[in-house]
Amino acid sequence: MGEADVVCFQEIARRDPAFGGGADQVAELAALFPGYEPVFGPTLIRGERQYGNLILSRLPVLQVFNHLLPHPAEGGIKHMQRQAIEVVVEASSGPLRVMTTHLEYYSAAHRVAQVARLRAIQDEVAGNEAQPAKAAPSPYDPVPRPASLVLCGDFNIGPEDAEYRALFAPPLVDAWRHARPNEPHPPTTGLFDRKQWPMGGHCRDYFAVTPDVAARIARVECETTSDASDHQPLRLALR
């Protein structure tokens, strides 16, 4: 799909015998991307076993934030703690926040709460940018954290779901619909793995961006020929 300044992964494990054969997938991916800084956001830390989301950036990383998402009590079904990892990178256009996440699959109630938390984080960051805190020496020194955002990942919601409408209420914009308004969302899941996804190809993966970032979209694409994962890679290019 071409060069990338920032690459986002979900479902990354470290030293878990039941996931990835016990490999340190953070180290393995970092070795495959020389020149990129790995930023791992652990959702679960159980001794040496870790699991979460990963961002690789060849742009300078100014700040990192690890957001644990809501995990409401709900008996009788499988569910787990979820997380979003956020980095502030120094792009050629200026500082930009990039965040990736993986929302709960088994519970709509969890996804509703997690979408609300992601939007609350965005509101908080925008509020702090509009009303900056008083500057002081470290650790109170101001480091850029703009409202400008690219949020991506496996949201486990379809374009027809209420959670989708909640996620993409203003100010967040669906990059695909903004850049390609006459095209339906591409199938990002289930193209090849029909055992896990008997319904076949459908969309669960998105870029959510703020309006200023949406105005800079050059391309948004989905690669539909690779069977390396049960999800297809998405690529967003900004001017």
Q: What is the pLDDT of residues 74-130, one digit of tens each?
A: 999 999 999 999 999 999 999 999 999 999 999 999 999 999 999 999 999 999 999
Dihedral angle, C-alpha 232, 71, 84, 30, nearest 10 °: -70
Please give the C-alpha separations between residue 64 and each of 75, 129, 194, 208, in angstroms, as whole numbers. 33, 17, 37, 19
β-sheet bridge partners, residue 191? none
> 10 Å Cβ neighbour count for 120?
10
Q: Where are the domains of the chain?
A: 6-130+142-238
Residues in the chain predicted with pLDDT less than 70, given as ranges, are: none
Whether the Cβ atoms of residue 12 and residue 26 lie closer than 8 Å to each other: yes
Whether the Cβ atoms of residue 152 and residue 200 lie closer than 8 Å to each other: no
pLDDT score of 20:
84
Structure pTM?
0.97
As assigned by CATH, the class of the 6-130+142-238 domain is alpha beta
pLDDT score of 144:
97
